Amino acid sequence: MKGELVTKGEQTRQRIVAAAAPIFNQHGYAGSSIVELMKATGLTKGGIYRHFSCKEELAAEAFDYTWETARDARLVDVDEKTVGVDLLKLFIANFIDKKPPVPGGCPILNTAIDADDGNPVLRERARKALRAWSNRLQDILKVAAEHGQLQPGVAPKTVATLIIATLEGALMISRLERNYEPLRRVQEHLNYYLDTQVRAVK
């Protein structure tokens, strides 16, 4: 929203979303109490809900905010010169090395687990974000295939699914163990896989 004119009400709304984002990302939907939200925003319950119809609307906007900031963090050092398999490797490295600004881990993983047996609005947000991420990776692979940079028969969807699944699962283990080693181990595996089974042999 930089440079755009926004009303004071819209500014307050955005400030509430940014303050609520780490609470929802760390403690989940049910675990985020109005008391915590009031403390984080410095507003009363009425002051918060003047801007949102319900907790679900606030949680959904907080999810989008957290996801957008995490996605942007993964774009660090991404430029036009890096393409194909090298770009996928850079995305993998950024996922592991670039700490997203909102604490609590990956919002897709958190919200997927939090909402897969419950809240359909949040589940839909997480699914949409997951698909956008997968499509981004698949697009990189499709362009690489068109330039003859991939081995024949490589399925972009399989590669994208494998990268996302492996990173998210390793993130869960790393966060549980408070240790980056699991992420490092899978990074090495994914890079080797991309070099030997995906990238065209020169």
- Interface residues with its own copies (CB under 8 A) are 26-31, 103-105, 109-110, 112-114, 116-118, 123, 126-127, 130, 157-158, 161-162, 164-170, 172-173, 175-177, 181-182, 185-186, 188-189, 193
Q: How far is the CB of 185 from its own copies (least distance, A)?
A: 5
b/e per residue, 9-22, with b = 16+ CB within 10 A? eeebbeebbbbbbb
Q: How far is the CB of 126 from its own copies (least distance, A)?
A: 6
Tokens of 80: 């036009």
Dihedral angle over CA of 155, 111, 63, 18, nearest 10:
-130
Q: How far is the CB of 127 from its own copies (least distance, A)?
A: 5
Any residues with CB less than 8 A from the CB of 83 and at least 6 apart, and which?
Answer: 140, 143, 144, 149
Q: How far is the CB of 28 from its own copies (least distance, A)?
A: 6
| Integer Cα distance of 36 and 16 in angstroms | 12
Nearer to its own copies, 9 or 118 (CB): 118
Nearer to its own copies, 11 or 179 (CB): 179
Tokens of 195: 């070099």
Nearer to its own copies, 11 or 196 (CB): 196
Nearer to its own copies, 48 or 198 (CB): 198
User: In this structure, are residues 76 and 90 in contact, taking their beta carbons and an 8 Å threshold?
Assistant: no
